[in-house]
A and B are shown apart, each in its own frame.
Chain A
Amino acid sequence: MMNVTIGQFFPGDSFLYRLDPRTKLILTVALIVLVFISRSFIGFALIFLFVLWCAFSTKIGLKYMLRGLKPLFVIIALTFALNLFLMRDGETLARWGVIQITTGGVRTAVFMAVRLILLVLCSQVLTLTTSPISLTDGMESLMRPLSKIGFPAHEISMMMSIALRFIPTLMEETEKIRRAQMARGADFESGNLIQRARAMVPLLVPLFVSAFRRADELAMAMEARCYHGGAGRTKMKQLRFHWRDGAAVGAIAAMYALMIAFNALGVA
């Protein structure tokens, strides 16, 4: 059995974990907006303090969270460089031909990089502390009002949870087919990119065929268990708001108040 981590969920149990997924979804959006509102480094420091609290109250640790920045490193570096070299504002610090570094450029470059990093960290707080299942539940529940105007809220969350259910199954199957094809002389490791891509065909074809067969059987099994879409359906696990959801909303509201004050006072 392969060790598959779906999403980035980091199992644990603390205040953040016990928050209602709906609260977490909404507050994460609020937090992202807050990152955009901030016009000062003090504002960023405030948000960073919050991220630090999240990292340490959950035992996830800042180091683990920073790992999530890796895939975005190039984008962050590029934004930084573009702002640094192309922005012309304030005193000139250095100049090579058309390229010049200004004090305003340095400030903007750092500012934008910090903003991007904070965006990633804030959204990570959500994905690290919320299991994919409760995330889907939360999204379904939040999208439910939209189903009145024909938005397929239930269908989307059903699709997401079935996808989550079948990821490990299909991974296992891929591995089985890969071994079977290797036993028949298939070579997945050598050759250039195109040759390797072509070598995937004998892997993908059986995998697709089997996925369709599975889908067919699953649909049959769901129908046999009285599935007929989202109408009239109940849920065993009801989402309920607790006092801690109120506390979390209060904390974010306080951060908003502080941020607006910082902006009004024009602090750096």
Chain B
Amino acid sequence: MSDAILRLRDAAFQYDGAEDRAVDGVSLDVAPGEFLAILGRNGSGKSTLARMLNALLIPTSGAVEVGGIAVSEENAYAVREICGMVFQNPDNQIVATVVEEDCAFGLENRGVPPEEIRRRVDEALTEVGMRERALASPSMLSGGQKQRIAIAGVLAMRPKVIAFDESTAMLDPVGRRDVFELARRINREEGVTVVWITHFMEEAVRADRVIVMDRGRIELEGTPREVFSNVQEVLALGLDVPEMMKLARDLRAAGLDVPMDTLTVEEMAEELCKCGA
């Protein structure tokens, strides 16, 4: 892929004083408009990887290119304009005391003219469905709403890529679904490339491509179907397999002819109907 928006070549990162490299030689291409999910247990290096995409961390060896720009100390701001980031804790990434002011923060940092900021903030808040709360105080919002504000703040900067670092981990199920669906919509409708780091298999299942990391390396890679059919390997990497795949395995053990790679409830219902017929 020559037109990859994210290109990693043997990228590695070692924290000061750490014995092992947190990311240990990752090579990866991400196409524009792709929805890539990254899975892995705690400490597998997935957050470190995401932080290199935003130049918060500079690779200690190897190369990371974002939109054709090499991630380095000098290019940090150029890289951040291409790749935005949404973090895990909704409280700790909101800067301002008013929703719309927070949304404007990134654009103000970049010195965008006030009228232009106004326009883009209104657009972004409409996009995430928070326009009517523009003047609210973030402390009065739910976790899911705060994450939507954080997304609006990133969207207003019109990045080509957004990295979500476990952005749904601290939310309740409703907020989690809202935020995930919003990310999917931004990906489908705006064509923004999404790197979605998560612990939740039911989210990874709906990505275009899944990579599973362990000890700083990519262990499995492919479409969700390909990755999750390696049930034993996925479990060995400290992850879960989607509920429906577990059910499929148990049903097969019980003698029903259900394909191993059944991922969603809808697919399972269809397969079971076939079995019944």
Contact = CB atoms under 8 A, between A and B. Distances in A.
Interface of A: 1, 132-133, 161-162, 164-165, 168-169, 172, 213-214, 217-218, 220-228, 232-238
A165 B96 contact: yes
Contact of A232 (B106, B111, B137, B157): B111
Contacts, number: 95
B91 interface: yes
Contacts of B85: 221, 224
Interface stretch (B97-105, B235-243, B252-260): B97-105
Contact of B84 (A162, A224, A234): A224
Given A225-B105, A225-B154, A236-B108, A161 B87 contact: no
Contacts of B154: 225
A218 B93 CA distance: 5
Contact of B114 (A165, A227, A235): A235
B117 interface: yes
Contacts of B84: 224-225
Nearest to A4: B139
B78 to A, nearest CB: 10
B interface majority secondary structure? helix
B110 interface: yes
Contacts of A220: 56, 87
Nearest to A229: B109
B138 A165 contact: yes
Nearest to B139: A168
A interface majority secondary structure? helix
B232 interface: no
A237 B139 contact: no
B117 A164 contact: no
B80 interface: yes
Nearest to A133: B97
B111 A218 contact: no
A237 B153 contact: no
A165 B121 CA distance: 19
A224 B101 contact: no
B10 interface: no
Contacts of A172: 139
A232 B111 CA distance: 6
Contacts of A169: 91, 139
A126 to B, nearest CB: 18
Given A165-B94, A235-B114, A228 B77 contact: yes
A225 B153 contact: yes
B125 to A, nearest CB: 12
10 contacts: A133-B98, A161-B95, A161-B97, A165-B138, A165-B139, A225-B84, A225-B154, A226-B80, A234-B108, A236-B121
Given A220-B56, A224-B84, A235 B108 contact: yes
A224 B55 CA distance: 8
B2 interface: no
Contacts of B56: 220, 223-224
Nearest to B94: A165
Nearest to B98: A133
Given A225-B157, A234-B107, 5 more contacts: A225-B95, A225-B153, A226-B80, A234-B117, A235-B108
B113 to A, nearest CB: 6
B114 A217 contact: no
Contact of A218 (B92, B101, B138, B140): B92
